[in-house]
A and B are shown apart, each in its own frame.
Chain A
Amino acid sequence: ETGVTQTPRHLVMGMTNKKSLKCEQHLGHNAMYWYKQSAKKPLELMFVYNFKEQTENNSVPSRFSPECPNSSHLFLHLHTLQPEDSALYLCASSPTGQGAKNIQYFGAGTRLSVL
């Protein structure tokens, strides 16, 4: 148990659906991240939030919309997704935004299938 909780663990949705992924940490961390892990590809950073403010958007399509209401919670809102968006979506948090000692703690991920 890393202290980072993601829900749901599995999600199946149609291309016209709207759904949200949730991430929660009570580690007192100030930075939170969304990653995408597709089959046969390296883990890709999607978004970074520091103290609730978005500081990185790695050219992610607008059909993915992140939300960070406070330092403990992070959401990823999904709408009109494509089948190629099917992947494992991982959330992570870290104590601070930057620095040589910035260790990330990962959740177990949400396995998303888009039909």
Chain B
Amino acid sequence: KQEVTQIPAALSVPEGENLVLNCSFTDSAIYNLQWFRQDPGKGLTSLLLIQSSQREQTSGRLNASLDKSSGRSTLYIAASQPGDSATYLCAVTPGGQNFVFGPGTRLSVLP
């Protein structure tokens, strides 16, 4: 059974810092991996999708990498801003449509 973990559970950084969020999954047989952002009481917003054949994806200040063989992905946020404060979730698609989510990392960027 696919399991997804995220470290750290919570992170607090001063504005302007670069930071890395980690995601691990137990079964490397995946179609893709997605990173999402969730603001309090809101739904999820897709940030980046990495297909299983890809190594990384970039969007603005965000860069996500994927190492399928080791079951790991990282989300790198450059020059963090208070508006980046949210919970970040990763999810893998092990096959079919059974998306499996991690518990999330709660990020606070302090002004």
Interface residues of A (CB under 8 A from B): 2, 4, 6, 31, 33, 41-45, 48, 50, 55-56, 58, 88, 90, 92, 94, 97-109, 111
B102 beta carbon closer than 8 Å to chain A? yes
Query: Are A42 and B41 closer than 8 Å at their CB atoms?
Result: no
Query: Are A90 and B97 closer than 8 Å at their CB atoms?
Result: no
B10-18, B46-54, B77-85 - the one binding chain A: B46-54
Find B97's partner among A42, A55, A101 (CB 8 Å cutoff): A55
Known: A90-B43, A109-B42. A100 touches B53 (CB 8 A): yes
Query: Are A102 and B98 closer than 8 Å at their CB atoms?
Result: no
Distance of A41 Cα from B103 Cα, bound (Å): 6
Q: How far is the CB of B92 from chain A (nearest CB, A)?
A: 11
Find B98's partner among A31, A58, A107 (CB 8 Å cutoff): A58
Query: Are B101 and A43 closer than 8 Å at their CB atoms?
Result: yes
Q: How far is the CB of A68 from chain B (nearest CB, A)?
A: 14
> Please, which residues of chain A bring their CB within 8 A of the CB of B44?
43, 90, 92, 104, 106
B76 beta carbon closer than 8 Å to chain A? no
> Please, which residues of chain B bring their CB within 8 A of the CB of A102?
31-32, 93, 97
Task: Enumerate B8-62 residues with CB–CB distance to A below 8 Å.
Answer: 31-32, 34, 36, 41-46, 49, 51-53
Query: Are A98 and B42 closer than 8 Å at their CB atoms?
Result: no
Distance of A108 Cα from B49 Cα, bound (Å): 20
- The interface centre, meaning the residue of B36, B52, B89, B101 with most chain A CB atoms within 10 A of its CB, is B101
Known: A31-B97, A41-B103, A45-B99. A103 touches B34 (CB 8 A): yes
Q: How far is the CB of B80 from chain A (nearest CB, A)?
A: 23
Beyond A48-B97, A56-B96, A56-B98, list 10 extra A-B contacts (CB 8 Å): A2-B45, A4-B43, A33-B99, A42-B4, A42-B103, A44-B101, A90-B44, A100-B51, A102-B32, A103-B49
